[in-house]
């Protein structure tokens, strides 16, 4: 397959505009600001007539990483409010426990199961392994997993094994957790969903293997974050192709949440936050498509391995340079790098 052919300069714009709604959506996409800001979901909710992000989730089980604030917290709240059993994974015991209590007490359903906190740093693979053991002790199957943990760091740090933290927490950790949760997700009564929260920042990054971890001398937080997010989206496609290409047992999705007003964005990108704060999305808007993909049972989400924003599939390239980097050989090397790094076959 010629992976580089997946989209041109504006591949997210439909090749064949068919309806007035497609025209509006395509116009938003080309404008970038109109698509990524709060304008995007406001307009698309109306033209596509969005229903609720989720229905009744009684008896269903979900894992959400990075749920102590921002998008992950909003996503977990939506799942809790719909009656799902939610397990949140966070690296800080006090914050994770507090978030679980807050989510449970804010639930709109009195019969909503209590949120279960699990402590693990997604950058530490041994902690990921321990977290999966704890999750398996609580539930017999999983209907969905939302990989949301991760932040943009201005300072380069490493995990205990010397791996750059952004790559460890957002590429290696989620890949390992997905592998280890395989039996639980395959035990779901319907195709389980594994959803990865990516970022529009990845549009600026080429697919790189040798440069996936930036060196201390060349490190820039935004660039490192974008490289990791590009790897996430690529691995989402590859997991779908290699693990369950028909989506019979597992459906893999990646999501671009738009520009969202979160504590992480305010701390890591203060100038961006200050300038664009009037048009940033709410955490709930940022979480909407991810939760919809986790729970929707219609034909709209019956595909696997796609990249989404505002409940529509999008292309993964906007620039010729990133498209040229996306070769089958480089994808194979990325897969092997990650497999070797996390120690799975």
pTM of the model: 0.93
Non-local CB neighbours of 241 within 8 Å, separated by 6+ positions? 305
Span 149-191, pLDDT tens digits: 988 999 999 999 999 999 999 999 999 999 999 999 999 999 9
Number of domains in the chain: 1
Between CA 56 and CA 63, with CA 61 as vertex, the angle to 5 degrees is: 120
Domain carrying residue 133: 3-342
In what order do the strands lie in the sheet containing 61-65? 116-119, 85-90, 61-65, 144-147, 192-197, 250-255, 306-309, 312-314
Residue 39 has pLDDT above 80, yes or no: yes
300: CATH:
3.40.50.720
pLDDT in tens, 310-322: 999 999 999 999 9
φ/ψ region of 311 (left if φ > 0, alpha if ψ in -120 to 50, else beta) reads left
């Amino acid at each position: 397959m010629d992976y580089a052919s997946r989209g041109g300069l504006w591949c997210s714009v439909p090749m064949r505009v068919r309806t007035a709604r497609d025209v509006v959506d395509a116009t938003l996409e080309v404008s970038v600001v109109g698509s990524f800001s709060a304008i995007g979901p406001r307009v698309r909710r109306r033209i596509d007539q969005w229903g609720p992000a989720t229905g009744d989730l009684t008896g269903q089980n979900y894992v959400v990483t990075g749920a102590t604030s921002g998008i992950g917290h909003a996503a977990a709240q939506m799942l809790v409010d719909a009656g799902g059993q939610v397990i949140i994974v966070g690296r800080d015991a006090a914050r994770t426990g507090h978030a679980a209590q807050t989510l449970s007490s804010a639930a709109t359903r009195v019969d909503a199961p209590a949120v279960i906190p699990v402590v693990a740093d997604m950058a530490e693979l041994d902690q990921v392994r321990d977290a999966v053991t704890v999750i398996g002790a609580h539930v017999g199957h999983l209907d969905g997993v939302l990989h949301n943990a991760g932040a943009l760091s201005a300072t380069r740090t490493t995990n205990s094994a010397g791996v750059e933290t952004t790559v460890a927490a957002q590429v290696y950790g989620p890949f390992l957790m997905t592998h280890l949760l395989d039996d639980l997700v395959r035990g779901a009564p319907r195709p389980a969903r594994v959803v990865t929260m990516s970022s529009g920042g990845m549009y600026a990054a080429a697919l790189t293997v040798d440069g996936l971890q930036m060196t201390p001398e060349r490190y820039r937080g935004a660039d490192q974050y974008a490289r990791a997010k590009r790897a996430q989206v690529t691995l989402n496609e590859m997991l779908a192709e290699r693990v369950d290409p028909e989506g019979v047992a597992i459906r893999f999705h990646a999501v671009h949440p738009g520009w969202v007003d979160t504590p992480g964005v305010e701390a890591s990108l203060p100038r961006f936050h200050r300038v664009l704060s009037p048009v940033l999305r709410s955490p709930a808007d940022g979480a909407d498509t991810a939760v919809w993909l986790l729970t929707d049972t219609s034909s709209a989400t019956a595909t696997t391995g796609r990249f989404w924003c505002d409940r529509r599939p999008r292309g993964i390239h906007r620039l010729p340079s990133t498209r040229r980097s996306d070769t089958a050989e480089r994808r194979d090397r990325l897969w092997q790098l990650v497999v070797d790094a996390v120690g799975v076959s």
